[in-house]
Structures are given as C-alpha cells and as structure tokens.
Structure 1
Amino acid sequence: MVVRLLADPRDHPREAVALLVGAVLLFAGLDVLYTVLGSRTTGPAGPWAGLVFRLVLDAAVLAVLRAPLLVTWLTIVGTAVLQLSELVSPGLLVASPVIGGDPLTLGATPVVVNVVVQMRNQRSTWVLIGVLTILATRPWDPSLLTISVGLLSTAVPALLGRYMAARRTLMASLRERAERTDREQRLLAEQARAEERARLAAEMHDVVTHRVSLMVLQAGAIEVTATDPETRRAAAGLRDAGMQALDELRELVGVFGGERTGESPTVGPPAPRVELRDLVDASVTAGVDVRLDCAGDADAVPAAVLRTAHRVVQEALTNVHKHAPGGRVRVDVRYGADAVNVAVTNSAATADAALGRTGSGSGLRGLRERVAMIGGTLQAGPRPDGGFAVRAELPVAR
C-alpha cells in the first residue's frame, strides 16, 4: 500500500498523519487476521511471537514522519531478523503455514519506502532503499514469487513516491509562476493607470487650468470696468468660483501624479476656505436636524484634505435629504496630526423618501474614489437601528 501524501507532511501534518495511521492499522489488522486464521509461529517463543514482532515494527512506522531514516533502519533490521530467524531457527518468528504474501518481508515496508522517498530525496535514502530491495528480493535464493513481492514492496513504492514528490514540486512551481505572472500583470496595470493619470494631470495643468485662469482674469476685468453694481457682483462671484476651481484643479493635478517644477502663479486673492458649518446650516434650513461636532485644529490640515472632508459631509447630507427625511443627523469631525476622521450618522427616516428613487447610486462610489485618491478609506453602510453611517479616514500628508 502506498501513502499518498497531499503535500509535504511537515506542512500538512493532519492529512499525512491520518493517511499514515490508516495504513499502519491496515497492515496491523492483516497481520492479526493471518494469525487468527492459523498462520502462527511454532518456535520456543510461542505461537504469538511472530505477531508481536510484526506489530511492534508496524507501530514503529508511525514515527516515519518525524524520523524517516531511523524507521527505515528499523525496517531493514526487522526484515533481516526475520530472514536470519528462518535460517537459524525456522518457526521462531516466521509463521507456518504462510497464508499469503512473503513471510520474510514486513507488510508495512511499502509505506516506509514511499514516505521516506517523498520526504528525503537524498543519496543515503536511495542506498537504504537499495538494501531493502536486496533483502526483499533475496537474489541468493531467487524465485518468481520472492522477486515479484520484493519489487512490489520496495522498488515500485519508491518510484511512485519519487513521482509524487516530483509532481508536487512541479505543481508548486506552476502555482508560484502563476502567482508571479498575476503580480506582474497587476504591476503593469498599475503602471498603465499611473501613466494615464499622469497624462490626465498634464492635460488638466496645460489646458484646463489655463482656460480657467483666463476666465478668472476676464471676470476680474469685468468687475473692475463694469458700472452696473449687479454686473460687478456677478463678476466677483464668477471670479471667486473660478479661483476655487483653480485651487481644486491644482490639487487634483498633484493627486493624479502630475509633476511640474515650481508653482503655478496665483490669480487674484486666494479662494475662500470651505466651511462645514455652511453645509450644516443649509441642511438645517431645509428642515433636517443636524448636529456638528468638530475637534482639533483645522488650520493645520492641508486644503486638499479639508475639501475632501467637505465632500464627504456634503454627499452624506445629500443622501439624508434623499433617503432619510425626518431623521436626525450627527456630524463628527476630528482633525488630528496624522489623519482627519469624519463620521456622519443618521437615524431612520420618519417620512416618505420621495427623492430616494431619483439617485443614480454613483455618489458614494465617486466619493470613495475621491477619498482613495488622497490615500484615505471610506466605509458606508446601514446601521442596526435602520439608519445609515458614513465614515472616512483621511491621512494628513506631511
């Protein structure tokens, strides 16, 4: 019998031990069965001497996974003892009559040979297998039965074990090659995405930013030259919106990987910083119960992170308007030295969500991509009480 190890026994001891124990129990059971059917020893040691000797050697096979060479030596010694006892004192350890198989070969020998070859493919191992093969085939007393049983007990399990070990090594190599190919493909895809992002960044920097800058300059000129107060106010609003768009475009260029030496020239005064309070006040005015809790120093946080936090709160409040009318909302923002944590939680809706069917479902997906662009993480999902929670962690770049 051959023990088919699923992998290296040291890597998968449970499977290997289970197979080994089953094989040992099988051969031990066969030895007991032969003895019960009448194949007993007739020497001075008694009728059970051969059975006890074989059972002891069968039990020793259980240690082959931890000490393969030692168990192989024990198998060699046990086989040699059986053959010597037959020559010196017939019937002492070899039962008579023999019901089946070769009485001078241990039944568990194929298990030992197969496992040892799989675990240790070394020259010393094959030398021991050769010694076992010689003892099993007994070329000094050749016969068709002896040679056939001897080869089936030693050479065939050894070759099968070597094939199994080689196949296992080949499969591991193929798996490793497939994993390496998969990693290389992912790296190539990442490189392609990085190149595309750099191209988009260049387009945004060279084309879009330039056009928006011209719009801001023209709006500023209209504000200065216009005589109508309404026109000046409209031009001022257009200029402020354009400057904010410029700031966001420049931040996106940096996030996309666009590389430019130096800084882009500023156009007019800096754009006003976005305030979360404005979003909350707008929602309160619309009839939503919103509570804002901020902690930390927002002035120490880069503008790009602040704008992303603003977008998180904006999208979460928009979803509340659509899907949870009448619910209570809590906005918690923590400005830390390493990250900004934003949490927007709301209770279940208390009114009919008439606007819930108008959404496309892409808001959170786009928000998650925006958060990922600055290296952050976004989690959004329902709460046990029927509400919804949106949480984002935005790293603060040093």
Structure 2
Amino acid sequence: MRENGKWAARLALWDGKFRSLLLDLLIAFLAVATPDDPAVWQQWVLIPGNAALFGAMLLRRRFPLVAVAAASAHSLLVGTDGGATGMVVAMYTLASRRGPTSVTWIGAGIVAASHVVRVLLPGNGALWSDGPFTVALGVLAGFAMIAALPLLLGLWLYSRRDLLTSLRERAVQAERERDLLAERAVTAERRRIAREMHDVVAHRVSVISLQAGALTMTATDQRTEEVAEVIRVSSSAALSELREMLRALRDDAENPGGDHAAPSLDGLRDLVEDSVAAGADIALDMPQELPETSAVVGRAAYRVLQEALTNAGKHAPGSPVRAEILAAADGLVVEVTNQRGAGTTVVEGSGYGLIGMRERVTLAGGTLQVGRTDDDGYRVRAAFPVLEGANAS
C-alpha cells in the first residue's frame, strides 16, 4: 500500500509540474531552433536574443505579457521565424490565462504592431514588388496566424475554464442547499414526531401511572398492591424518559439533560430488579465493579439490556432469563439468554427493537449478535469497547 502511494505521488507529480516543464522546454527549443537565415547585421544579437526568448518561453505562464513582448522583440531584432513561433505561443498563453482583459488586448496590439513593422522592414522588398494588394493580404494573413487565431483560441479556453469553474461552484452550492433542505425536513419531522409522542404516548403513559397509583391505594391484597406500585414506578420512569426524548427531538438547548438522569451502567442492576419485581424470572450475573466506559457505551448497554428483557417478556413470557454482564480489560459484554416460552400467547413484535439495538451498539463502536440457541432459546449479545486504561474487575 505504501509503495502504491509512492507511485501515485510520482504520477501526480509527472502529470503536474514535470509535464508542464517538459512542454515548456520543448516549446522554447522549437522557438529558438526554427530554421532561418538572419541578416548579417543581425548575427551579433542571435545568441542573446535566442537566450532571452528561451527564458521568456519558460516563464510564459507566470509572465505572459513579458513573453509576448520578448517574442515580438526577437522577431524584429533577430528576424528569424522563431520569434513568430514564440509570438503564437505567448499570445495563446496570455489570452488563456488573462481572458478578455486590457492586458490581453495590449499583448495583441504588441503582436500586431511588431508584425506590421517587420513587414515594412527594407528586407521585405520582394513582398512590396507584388503590389499593395498582396502586401495587405500578407499582413492580414500573418496577423490572423500570429495574433488572431491564438487570441481566439486562448479566449475560448479561458471562457470554457471559467464556465466549468462556475458550474462546479453551482453544483457545490446546490448540494449545500439540498443538505440544508434535508436538514430542515428532518428537523420538521422530528418536531412532528415529538408532538405526536407528547399528545398520544405521553398521555397514555400518564393515565397508566395514575391508574396504577389509584390501584395501589384501593388494593385489597398485598400482591396486587406490590404489582400496582411496580407499574406506577415503571410508568413514571418511562414518562420521565419520554420527556427527555421529546426534549432531544425538539433540540431544546435551554434545558438539556432533564430531571431524569441518563441511562448508564449504574442502572443495570436496578433495571433487572424492576423486571423481577414485576414478575419476571431473571438470573443476573454481574460483577460488583464495572470498567470505565464512555456515556454513549453506558447508554447503549442499558438500552440493550432493557430491550432484551422486554423482548423476552413479550416473546417468551414466564420462561427463565439469564442476564450476564461480562467485564474485561478490553471490553464490556451484555448477554441475555432466555428459554423458549410455552403455553402462553406471544405478543407479535414490529422488529424495530432489534433495529434500534443494532443502531445504538454500532454508534457506540460495538457489535451485536442475535439469534437462536441450541436449545431453541434466544440470545442477545452486545460487545462494547471500554476506555483506554480502564481496569475491569
């Protein structure tokens, strides 16, 4: 993998700076090596002129107007076709980099002026002997090849690059707007769910709590009174947790947390004892001290145990349940196993409980395993990571 990364970096470097440098060297070489025979009085400026043109071609991307001026001066002073080649390349670079700006038009004017001056030089007597029409046609054709064509091609490339940049920016902006609309839709849906839960679920749980409290006061035997008290306490706790969830759904930043403490590992034993008090047959195997975990892991472990006990009561009512909390130096395991229920009507489930458990465990960085046991029972096993440096008992 590391070797592949090195090759990828080398290829990226080749596609970028090295390729551009090689292209610049090639263009500069072609510009100064264009075959021609300068006049005798121009021989003394051939070497320094070619050197200046070579350097200008290498730096044309950073200083395109300087490259245009250098190529034009080379065309006038040295008189070789290398200057014309340099003007074409420099004019294209200037137009493609600066776009339709005053700098580009100045460069086009420099190229046009140098071309006209070169045509008017005394050395072009053969051209003048063909008549003014031929001279004008030659000037226009040369201007089209040296200035107009690279200018138009460079401006087209600049506008195309600008259009692509604008389209990319619009795509990014559209994606941001879609994310914002999706976030607003999620917020609106959460508020709607919060209203529905408050109007329906919270009301019914409150009624259950009130009825259980009334039954506690009017019970004729101790067993009924105890069961009614368990129902009242459980419904009150459920109502408190429901209010906490409603605040979370509404994003109530002014009153975070709530009156009821968030579920954690400290509440596992109380959770089992509440279920036993309600009539469940649960055997708990749990160490006295648990490893230190994050708040997310603590909440997830509590909810997994709560949902597993609830499912055992719904799908296998009356059957023995074994809850094990296994602590180790590198993890925490919550395992709930129940036997198959017999002779009792089983409440059909929606499947959302398992989905919620899996989401909570995954969010906490753990793994969840659910399924049948060899004796046709059912097992829920969730493994969570613990904080580094925590010691389990």
2:26 aligned residue: 25
1:183 to 2:176 alignment: yes
- Report whether the alignment pairs 1:118 with 2:96: yes
Counterpart of 1:183 in structure 2: which amino acid? R
Partner of 1:3: none
Contact 2:205 2:235 in 1 (8 A): yes
CA distance in 2, matches of 1:260, 1:61: 62
| Aligned counterparts of 1:16 and 1:118: Cα–Cα separation in 2 | 18
Q: Is residue 336 of structure 2 the alignment partner of residue 330 of structure 1?
A: no
Instruction: Using the TM superposition, give the Cα deviation of residue 170 of structure 1 relative to its aligned residue in structure 2, in angstroms.
Output: 1.3
TM-fit CA distance, 1:255: 0.7
Correspondence for 1:390: 384
Overall identity of the aligned pairs, in %: 31
Counterpart residue number, 2:225: 232
Gaps of 5+ in 2: 1-12, 121-127, 129-134, 277-281, 311-323, 334-339, 341-349, 369-380, 388-393
**Which amino acid in the other structure matches residue 107 of structure 1?**
T
Deviation at 1:245? 1.1
Match of 1:292 in 2: 290
Shift of 1:344: 3.8
Deviation at 1:49, TM superposition (A): 6.7
User: What is aligned with 1:128?
Assistant: 107
Give the whole-Å Cα distance in 1 for the aligned partners of 2:85 and 2:357: 69
- Aligned residue number for residue 275 of structure 1: 267
Asked if the contact 1:24/1:108 (under 8 Å) is kept, the reply is no
Report the Cα offset of residue 69 of structure 1.
2.7
Opposite residue 384 of structure 2, the aligned amino acid is: V
TM-score by length of 1: 0.61
Structure 1 residues 181-210: Cα deviation after superposition (integer angstroms, max 9, x where no partner)? 121111111111111111111111122111
Residue 278 of structure 1 deviates from its aligned partner by 5.7
Find out whether 1:108 has 2:104 as its counterpart. no
Code of the residue aligned with 1:115 in structure 2: it is T
Question: Quick check: 1:43 aligned with 2:22?
Answer: no
The Cα shift of 1:238 comes to: 1.4
The answer (yes or no) to whether the contact 2:31–2:86 under 8 Å persists in 1 is no
Structure (1 or 2) with the greater helix fraction? 2
Matches within 5 A, 1:1-398: 15=16, 18-19=19-20, 21-26=22-27, 28-29=29-30, 31-32=32-33, 35=35, 39-41=36-38, 43=40, 50=46, 53-54=49-50, 56-83=52-79, 94=80, 103=81, 105-121=83-99, 122-136=101-115, 140=120, 142=135, 144=137, 147-257=140-250, 275-277=267-269, 292-294=290-292, 307=299, 310-311=302-303, 329-330=326-327, 344-345=331-332, 366-367=356-357, 378-380=364-366, 390-391=384-385
Residue pair 2:267, 2:302 contacting (<8 A) in 1 also = yes
CA 1:258–1:29: 2 relative to 1, 3 Å: closer
Deviations along 1:225-269, one digit per CA (max 9) or x if unpaired, are 11122211221221122112101110110011077999xxx9xx9
TM-score (norm 2): 0.62
The CA distance in 1 between the partners of 2:88 and 2:308, in whole Å, is 69
Which amino acid in structure 1 is aligned with residue 302 of structure 2?
H
Q: Is the 8 A contact 1:280 1:292 kept in 2?
A: no
Pair 1:107–1:291, CA change in 2 (3 A) = farther
Change beyond 3 A, Cα 1:64–1:159 = same
Q: Any idea what SS the aligned residue of 2:85 has?
A: coil
Other-structure match for 2:319: none
Runs of 5+ consecutive residues of structure 1 not aligned to the other structure: 1-11, 84-93, 95-102, 319-326, 333-342, 347-354, 394-398
Structure 2 Cα separation of the partners of residues 368 and 70 of structure 1: 66
The residue identity in structure 2 corresponding to 1:108 is G
Counterparts of 2:138 and 2:18 in 1: how far apart (Å)?
32
Distance 2:253 2:97 in 1: 59
Residues 153-197 of structure 1, C-alpha deviations (whole Å, 9 max, x = no match): 222111111111111111111111121112111111111111111
RMSD: 5.1
> Number of residues paired by the alignment?
314
Query: Using a 3 Å threshold, how does the CA distance of structure 1 residues 158 and 287 change in structure 2: closer, same or farther?
Result: same
Aligned residue identity for 1:75? A
The answer as to whether partners of 1:136 and 1:147 remain within 8 angstroms in 2 is: no
What is the alpha-carbon distance in structure 2 between the residues aligned to residue 82 and residue 388 of structure 1?
84
SS at match of 1:293: coil
Instruction: Report if the CA contact (8 A) 2:304-2:382 is conserved.
Output: no
Question: Shift of residue 390 of structure 1?
Answer: 3.3
Confirm or deny: 8 A CA contact 2:215 2:228 kept in the other structure.
yes
State the 1:21 CA deviation: 3.7
* C-alpha distance after superposition, 1:99-129 (max 9, x if no partner): xxxx374322222111122222421331222
Alignment partner of 2:365: what SS? strand
**What amino acid maps onto 2:40 in structure 1?**
G
Tell me if the contact between 1:40 and 1:50 (Cα under 8 Å) persists in the aligned partners: no
Q: Contact between 2:91 and 2:151, CA under 8 Å: does it hold in 1?
A: yes
CA distance in 2, matches of 1:82, 1:115: 22
CA distance in 2, matches of 1:200, 1:65: 59
2:95 and 2:154 in contact (8 A); partners too = yes
